[in-house]
Amino acid sequence: MKFSSVLRSSAIALQSIVSVSAVVVNPLPAPRNITWGNSGSIEISPSLSLNLGNASEIVSQAFERTWERVVDLKWYPAAIEQPLASYVTTPYRKRDVSGVVVSRINIDIEDVDIPLQLGVDESYKLDVESGSGEISIASATTWGALHALTTFQQLIIYQNGSFILEEPVSIWDAPLYPHRGIMIDSGRNFLQKKKILEQIEAMSLCKLNSLHWHIDDSQSWPIEIIKYPEMTEDAYSAREVYTQQDIKDVVAYGKVRGVRIIPEIDMPGHSRAGWQKVNPEIVSCADIFWTESAVEPAPGQLNPVNNDTYKIVQDVYDELSALFDDNIFHVGADELQETCYNFSTSVREWYAEDESRTISDLLQLWVDKTEPIFMNTPDRRLTMWEDVVMTTHARNVSKNVILQSWDVASNVKNLTSQGYDVIVSSYLHFYLDCGFSGFVTNDPRYIDVPANDDFNENNAGSWCGPYKSWQRIYDYDFTQNLTETEKSHVLGAEVCLWSEQVDSAVITQKIWPRTAALAESTWSGNKNAEGYFRTNFVSQRIFNFREYLVAIGIDASPLVPKFCLQNPHACDLYQNQTILFEYDA
């Protein structure tokens, strides 16, 4: 019995836990390079003042927010751990407070005007010196300075009436990948604006920089369009609509926290709600029962052979894209169903004009006709789901299109080897909606008869079950098997929370804190300097990060009994702290 022997050995492990008193506050994500001093704790004045070299409203406001939070929160982590010596450059040593009281933070930014876009320099240096009594941050851009502040925020603890930093510290930091994101879906269920802002706040704390907002889907159209006000008749209710001001608010809230907002209007598949109100002729198969026409209810796809489709798409796209700052617009292109179009008279006639035509030609028609519409600013770049190349096989998709890969890892190799830039969202690792069973009703597969055992016992009840735990997310090498050239085409990774069973009531618990694991693997990696998994070094910090989120009012799920949080490594499956090293790179 493998499992019971495991339980026995962890019981033995418990007896040998030594009491630890030192507080080690390591930020999440782990910085690329962190060097602790050992001259003793440094006290920071509650009236810390900012000395900003080049004026930046964004940075001075971020400093105000950060420091106010530190002072209000009086944070002291429950997660207490003496780190293994190899994990820090200088072994940690608890010392008395050195007597230095820091009262000033200097921030020098080379160019405060560089905009927040894909690939912007996000690096920073943060130095807290024992002698000078000053904290110095240096960065190339505003966005690097914001990251420095979230690191700083996580380094300070409140102890015995003082705000202290355990030791002098020197950090150099920069992300491994420019795209570190979360996808949310407000088409299946509406997400309140305040809940979207909450995700952005948590993202900024762990340096995630891209919120991919899958705004609509075939089920609902929740965005105000001035030109076609009838589209929001397909919102779930008049109260479940984003006004254009709401969208601008989300974009502005993200920007001052270094989070890009990347909109997605999923087309031509997953399209019914909203569009059908403008002209029902541009939507195919909307009235065919979904099992014959779609991957899930409700059915509907934009009709590529109807010219009115493009006029309406252009009007909606121009109006919407003007509300967002980002150069990138995600235009969907996933899961196109051939069966849906075969219910359309106009598509059948188009096929009949040339017998060699297939669904690939139909999709290519869409790609060719929409390209000039979508590329409506000089800096515009498009993202599409990989299906457009890997599944429906459009004939010719520009290499300038970023492809978001959700299926098997071999697709990432395929696409990067062709020269496409790719964002990895492997459903086997990064889909946050998995493991909650299916949502369709009148489903006989749940009846307890032998024929249904596979469905109910092998996670098939959720097409992508089981639930993806933080360790599953963290331990995934999303560039595995790629050559150096192929790797250079991986822009980063994104967890996806499809929202058939998610709304404002549960979104935060489904995203946090496990997504902090992706935040670290995309920022500084999931391996130590020797190339071994450093998961064991994250566990205490992710538990701590969860406590921090809850403390600031973001209701993240607990990952463990609090016992595990308070007794570092007492809940490890193996007492051997380097057991993961068996799985080297």
Ligand X SMILES: *[C@@H]1O[C@H](CO)[C@@H](O)[C@H](O)[C@H]1NC(C)=O
Q: Where along the sequence are the contacts to ligand X (CB under 6 A)?
A: 33, 35, 53-54, 89, 108-111, 159-160, 172, 307, 338-339, 342, 351, 390, 396, 398, 409-410, 413-414, 417-418, 480-481, 576, 578-579, 581-582
576 C-beta neighbours (distance < 10 Å), count: 13
Residue 353 falls in the annotated catalytic set: no
Is the Cβ of residue 324 or residue 374 nearer to ligand X in the bound state? Answer: 374
Q: Which string of DSSP letters, residue by residue, matches 71-140?
A: HHH----S------GGGSSS--------S-EEEEEEEEES-TT----TT----EEEEE-TTT-EEEEEES
165 in helix, strand or coil? strand
Which pair of structure tokens corresponds to residue 235?
């919102």
Is the Cβ of residue 199 or residue 471 nearer to ligand X in the bound state? Answer: 471
Is the Cβ of residue 157 or residue 320 nearer to ligand X in the bound state? Answer: 157
Please give the helix or strand (H or E) that residue 159 lies within, else none.
Answer: strand 157-159
- What DSSP character marks residue 497? E
Name the minimum Å distance from CB 489 to ligand X: 13
Is the Cβ of residue 47 or residue 307 nearer to ligand X in the bound state? Answer: 307
- Region of 412 on the Ramachandran plot (φ > 0 left; ψ -120 to 50 alpha; else beta): alpha
Is the Cβ of residue 232 or residue 414 nearer to ligand X in the bound state? Answer: 414
Amino acid at 367: V
> What sign for the dihedral angle of Cα 402, 407, 413, 415?
negative
Helices 345-353 + 359-374 axis angle, to 10: 110
Q: Which of 134, 240, 335, 371 is catalytic?
A: 335
Name the minimum Å distance from CB 109 to ligand X: 5
Name the minimum Å distance from CB 239 to ligand X: 39
Name the minimum Å distance from CB 114 to ligand X: 9
Is the Cβ of residue 355 or residue 448 nearer to ligand X in the bound state? Answer: 355
Whole-number Å distance between alpha carbons of 214 and 262: 9
SS (H, E, C) 177-222: CCEEEEEEECCCCCCCHHHHHHHHHHHHHCCCCEEEEECCCCCCCC
Name the minimum Å distance from CB 65 to ligand X: 21
Whole-number Å distance between alpha carbons of 551 and 76: 10
Residue nearest to ligand X (CB): 53
Is the Cβ of residue 455 or residue 574 nearer to ligand X in the bound state? Answer: 574
**Location of structure tokens 């496409």:** 420
Is the Cβ of residue 391 or residue 509 nearer to ligand X in the bound state? Answer: 391
SS (H, E, C) 227-255: CCHHHHHHCCCCCCCECHHHHHHHHHHHH
N-term to C-term CA, the chain: 30
Which pair of structure tokens corresponds to residue 446?
């749940």
Is the Cβ of residue 159 or residue 452 nearer to ligand X in the bound state? Answer: 159
> What sign for the dihedral angle of Cα 446, 448, 452, 453?
positive
For residue 358, which of 325, 395, 388 has the smallest C-alpha distance?
395
- Note whether 271 and 306 are within 8 A (CB): no
Name the minimum Å distance from CB 338 to ligand X: 4
Using CB atoms within 10 Å of the CB of residue 390, give its burial: 0 to 12 exposed, 13 to 18 middle, 19+ buried: middle
Name the minimum Å distance from CB 168 to ligand X: 13
Name the minimum Å distance from CB 113 to ligand X: 8
Name the minimum Å distance from CB 408 to ligand X: 7
CA atoms within 13 A on the CB side of 579: 8
Whole-number Å distance between alpha carbons of 227 and 215: 18
Residues assigned a catalytic role = 335
